[in-house]
Amino acid sequence: MFDDSQGMKTNLSELGEFGLIEHLTRSFSPKLTSTIKAIGDDAAVLNFENKYTIVTTDLLVEGVHFDLAYMPLKHLGYKAVMVNASDVYAMNAKATQITVSIAVSNRFPVEALEELYAGIQLAAKLYNIDVVGGDTTSSTSGLLISITALGVADKDDVVLRSGAKPNDLLVVTGDLGAAYMGLQVLEREKQVFKANPNAQPDLDQYTYLIERQLKPEARKDIPPLLKELGVKPTSMIDISDGLSSEVIHICKNSQVGANLYEDKIPLDPAVISVCEEFDINSTTIALSGGEDYELLFTVSQEDYDKIKANPNLTVIGHMTEEEEGMHLITRANTKIPLIARGWNSMEDKNKKNED
Ligand code: ADP
Ligand code: MG
């Protein structure tokens, strides 16, 4: 991707480690009052006064979590920030600072890392997050990115995975499955391109799906929206692995069961049509596709009136006693046990490799 023919050829060794750090971070300037000292010392200094501090970290490895063949580096940087911010929002908190650590091989020119940092910077700016530090080292092969995000919340606002009660409503934000189908479209195009490098893909009808894959947006808006509605969820989690595994996480952590209604799962029309095209069941994709970065939470039945009219929120089921187990109620009104990856009536042709 970054060969000399594209004019991207400044070798990393030309800058050296400190030069590179300086080069990549020179335009980061802290904006938040909680950032006392950002990049440039041995450590950052933050001040959250008497609030709770939220900390979360994610490691992204080339070839495992991303493929640079169809993930532009700018998008990768953006997405790496989103993945972390999403975990902070899932605690019903505000994301405030991140640190960014990279291990990079010399096959990447400086220009490639500039792209990565442009994505990180854009995400940080749009989400009002300060970049306050990181680490830079070499890698013998691929690229590794580790981001740690910090956040802040009032003590009483923090929501864990463990507070769901029987009869609570199960609620999801946005719509599901689009990011996974975006990846399917991109993978198909990669194969087409391999077979015929001159093929001009027409991806217009897949714009929403591809954007959801390449430029996911974490739900920064949800913690303040819940506050405005006067609703405190009893439990919450972000949807990174697929609805099914996240429901299971809430159930296990809260010691409850759940009934999830297939006909309530929010799907964008673009997901429905691409699933028809790929001959894949759209419910399977919503349940096990992953990377939606929507939020899944539970609320008390009493809060139903506060959330029911909100277009961002869809009630998709309710919690039960733990003994009742975790089920999907299908459109045909049959009860199918939820499993972590898809559900057990999944047809063979849709099966993912369990690796
Ligand atoms: P140290 O040797 O103390 O770890 P470094 O030279 O690695 O210090 O880092 C100097 C400063 O630059 C620190 O504030 C560090 O947090 C920041 N930093 C280093 N690498 C990165 C990076 N990839 N992205 C953002 N900040 C970085
Ligand atoms: Mg260091």
**pLDDT, tens digit, 9 for 90 and up, residues 60-92:** 999 999 989 878 999 999 999 999 999 999 999
Residue 4 has pLDDT above 50, yes or no: no
Return the number of other C-beta atoms located less than 10 Å from residue 193's C-beta: 15
Residue 135 alpha carbon, nearest atom of ligand 1 = 20
What 3-state class would DSSP assign to 108?
A: coil
What amino acid is encoded at 102 in this protein?
I
Distances (CA, A) of 334 to 171, 232, 282, 310, 329: 21, 32, 17, 29, 6
Closest CA to 209 of 293, 122, 287, 292: 292
Residue 353 has pLDDT above 60, yes or no: no
What count of Cα atoms within 13 Å lies in the side-chain half-sphere of residue 36? Answer: 7
CA distance 253 to 161: 6
What 3-state class would DSSP assign to 327?
A: strand
Distance 134 CA to ligand 2 centre (A): 7
Residue closest via CA to ligand 1's atom 22 equals 134
What 3-state class would DSSP assign to 174?
A: coil
pLDDT tens string 10-34: 898 898 888 999 999 999 999 999 9
Strands 130-138 and 313-321, by their bridges, are unpaired
* Poorest-pLDDT segment among 20-24, 35-39, 337-341: 337-341
Query: What is the number of the ligand closest to the CA of 20?
Result: 1
Average pLDDT, the chain: 92
Mutate to test the pocket of ligand 1, among 15, 21, 24, 104 (most ligand atoms within 8 A of CB): 21
Distance 289 CA to ligand 1 centre (A): 36
Q: Enumerate residues lining ligand 1, CB below 6 A.
A: 21, 25, 39-42, 100-102, 131, 133-136
pTM: 0.91
CA distance 153 to 126: 20
Mean pLDDT of 236-264: 97
Strand order in the sheet with 169-173: 235-238, 295-299, 169-173, 313-321, 256-261, 326-329, 335-337
Query: What is the number of the ligand closest to the CA of 113?
Result: 1
Residue 41 alpha carbon, nearest atom of ligand 1 = 14
Return the number of other C-beta atoms located less than 10 Å from residue 248's C-beta: 18
